[in-house]
Amino acid sequence: MVSMSAKKEQTKQEKFDDISTPKLKFKEKLSYGLGDLGNGMMFDMGQIYLLKFFTDILGISAFYGGLVFLVSKIFDAFVDTGVGTYVDSRTNIGKRGKFRPFILYGTVPLAICTVLSFIAPNLDQTGKTIWAFATYMLFNAAYSVVNIPYGSLSASMTVNAEDRTQLSVYRNLGSQAALFVAGIVVIPLVNQFPNHAVGYPIAVALLAIVGVILHLICYKNVKERHVIQRPKTKGMGKKAFVSLLKNGAFAVLAIYTLLTIMSMFLKQSSQLYYFQYVMDAPNLVGLVSTLNFAVLVPALYITTLLSKRIGKKMTAIVGIAGFVVCEILNFALFGDYITTFLIVNTISSFFLVIPNTVTWAFIADVVEYGQWKSGIRSEGITYSSYSFTRKISQALAGFIPGLALTMIGYQPNVAQTTETLTGLKVLFFAVPGVGCLIALIIFLIGYPLTDKRHKQIVKELALREEI
């Protein structure tokens, strides 16, 4: 006869076996990825084009344009934390779920704020600067309301490592597709108008409408399966933050992200200047975006294969190492010539897809790691704190080009000096390459979560009946 204790243990093991089995359908994974495509239809407009819009259309200095990014992203980092705390503290979660309602109700306000940030009112210099600060800070706050719950959502959809890798693949597919669309569509649309001050908001509005539709598809087709409603306990939010500070895996991931995301967005922010003034090919961004998108699917396929063979951690390291090598080659040898630049840059983009894909699975794994250590599951606080790091990275990536452009003597719409051209090359290749090299070393040595270790943690949580 089997004892009650043995039956209970058997039930726990069966529960672990069930939750550790991949079960997400194609439609749900694709819909989740379309959510990030929707994010990018709005977010990428600002990250790629807004600094140039500030300097060349709105008419504020490069320094103040960079300062807008710095201040707004730091402000937004704190907004992220507030949104994450609120999401985790929600009680009486309804049929729409814990995270999905924010996508549903936040998407239209986000689209409106996106367009506002690309309007150039006829004001004096002080007024234009204030307008730039106000509209971009408003945009970032609206983006946080949608993006923090969206990012937290994946941890509630599945705890299976393979499913999470697949969600990361589809999310990165959506993210890269957004970059492709932004790179290939915006400038031709803007050029349809003789006045670019009119062309920019119209082009951005069209893409924002597409973003709203994609958000709604994501909301409708994804399901929250592992949601824990936190009890109304005084000081629980503070305890969650304290436990996060003690989470070594999160700390290393945060430093790694700070360096890699700053490097990636630094390239995006400076590429228009490099193409126009160094390569004398201002429309090259469209071809670069097309080539980057062409290698996306092969890179995602390789990411899936590598992740199964060597795990997510080593897969990310392979990708970062390849990116660093390519940036060094372009800086030292190939970056001045369009053909060789395009070849090496496309290979660099191929490698960069790999770590960008598995990153989203890392943060979901860190949720269970923190829960295993502290007993507190905090998807919202964990993801918002991770997003805090990303926003600081973006702030630096927005501010550094503006500051660097001022330091190297950049002047809008005129021929640049030799020193300025050299400075643009350093900014576009050397700084991102060095930043990612440092990130690689830190992550290789310090990140403790392999796929095998995470699976052990999930099993222990299942046996403790905590998931």
Inter-axis angle of helices 125-157 and 100-116, nearest 10: 160
pLDDT at 459 over 80: yes
- The answer to whether the predicted template modeling score (pTM) of the entire model surpasses 0.85 is no
Residue 232 confidence class, pLDDT cut points 50, 70, 90 = low
Q: What is the pLDDT of residue 223?
A: 92
pLDDT tens per residue across span 66-85:
889 888 888 888 898 888 88
What is the rounded CA–CA span in Å between residue 44 and residue 292? 15
pLDDT at 244 over 80: no
DSSP class of residue 92 equals: S
Q: What is the pLDDT of residue 20?
A: 58
Long-range contacts of 419-427 (CB under 8 A, 24+ apart): 420/277, 421/277, 421/278, 424/270, 424/273, 424/274, 424/277, 424/278, 425/274, 425/278, 425/331, 425/335, 425/336, 426/331, 427/266, 427/270, 427/274, 427/400, 427/401
pLDDT tens per residue across span 343-377:
999 999 999 989 988 887 888 888 888 888 887 87
Contact call for residues 244 and 385 (beta carbons, < 8 A): yes
User: 225 in helix, strand or coil?
Assistant: coil
Q: What is the pLDDT of residue 1?
A: 46
Inter-axis angle of helices 62-89 and 379-407, nearest 10: 180
Q: Which is more confidently placed, 20 or 161?
A: 161
pLDDT at 18 over 90: no
Q: Say which CATH class 24-226+236-463 falls into.
A: mainly alpha
Q: Where are the domains of the chain?
A: 24-226+236-463
Which residues have CB under 8 Å from 88's CB, separation 6+? 230, 237, 240, 378, 379, 380, 381
Which residues have CB under 8 Å from 234's CB, separation 6+? none
Q: Which is more confidently placed, 399 or 152?
A: 152
User: 447 in helix, strand or coil?
Assistant: coil
pLDDT at 430 over 90: yes
pLDDT at 143 over 60: yes
What are the structure tokens assigned to 16, written together?
A: 């672990």
What is the rounded CA–CA span in Å between residue 188 and residue 301? 31
Q: What is the pLDDT of residue 2?
A: 46
What is the rounded CA–CA span in Å between residue 354 and residue 297? 11
Proportion of the chain above pLDDT 90, given as a percent: 41
What is the rounded CA–CA span in Å between residue 231 and residue 192? 55
pLDDT at 467 over 80: no
What is the rounded CA–CA span in Å between residue 446 and residue 313? 11
What is the rounded CA–CA span in Å between residue 36 and residue 154? 12
Average predicted confidence (pLDDT) for the chain: 86
